[in-house]
Amino acid sequence: MLPRFTNHQSIPGTPMRSVTFLLACCLVASAHSADLSSSGASTAQPAADMSGPTHEITARALALVGSKYRFGGTSPGRGFDCSGLVDYVFHDTAAQELPRTAAEISRVGEKVDIDQLQPGDLVFFNTLRRAFSHVGIYLGGNKFIHAPRSGAKVRVDALDLAYWKKRFNGARRILSFKQPTQLANVDDRVTMYLF
């Protein structure tokens, strides 16, 4: 089942963006119960029913893999910075307005422990020598999507990479999930095709 986009009826861009979108849908659909974390540390937790807003958020975010980074950017056409990407995805799929900066977003929703992360949660990092200076969207399976920095593109990274693990500041849940139904993890074999 393909996600329903509320504000944009089609995905703009090249045929490669369409291929990326299809792979993103496969990635979200491939969630399974085995923990694929390479570090041995498990962050897999019961996830929300993936047919609702969680699925739409992760699928929409993954459809933006490869979008260019632009400081202050808030759209696919102009590019994204980290908070612009998060706000765009949540506004587009859940009609949820978020503050403009990662630090401001870190005060929205409820705090979530790393071992309780669910797809759609926001993860925060200290990348500029100040807390909550970077934000991404957790996908499941220890993976998150973000707009990393100038010169880079929107991409998926693993929380257990040394760089991100060392800089992790915390997580927040913006949307409330009522009934956890399955363990969600991202299949690394599908992820590798996104790069």
Q: What is the pTM of this model?
A: 0.69
Query: What is the pLDDT, as a whole number, of residue 32?
Result: 31
Query: What is the pLDDT, as a whole number, of residue 175?
Result: 86
Query: What is the pLDDT, as a whole number, of residue 40?
Result: 35
Instruction: Please report, for the chain, how many H helices and E strands are present, in that order.
Output: 6, 10
**Is the separation of the CB atoms in 190 and 23 below 8 Å?**
yes
Q: Where are the domains of the chain?
A: 15-194
Q: What is the pLDDT of residues 11-65, one digit of tens each?
A: 444 444 444 444 444 444 443 333 333 333 333 333 444 557 889 999 999 999 9
CATH for 15-194 is: 3.90.1720.10
Query: What is the pLDDT, as a whole number, of residue 39?
Result: 35
Query: What is the pLDDT, as a whole number, of residue 165?
Result: 97
Query: What is the pLDDT, as a whole number, of residue 53?
Result: 84
Query: What is the pLDDT, as a whole number, of residue 74?
Result: 97
Between 193 and 26, the higher pLDDT residue: 26
Look at residues 149, 142, 139 and name the one whose alpha carbon lies nearest to residue 62: 139
Which residue numbers are catalytic?
A: 82, 134, 146
Q: What is the pLDDT of residues 124-180, one digit of tens each?
A: 999 999 999 999 999 999 999 999 999 999 999 999 999 999 999 999 999 875 433
Between 18 and 189, the higher pLDDT residue: 18
42-46, 82-86, 113-117: least confident range: 42-46
d(CA 173, CA 190): 26
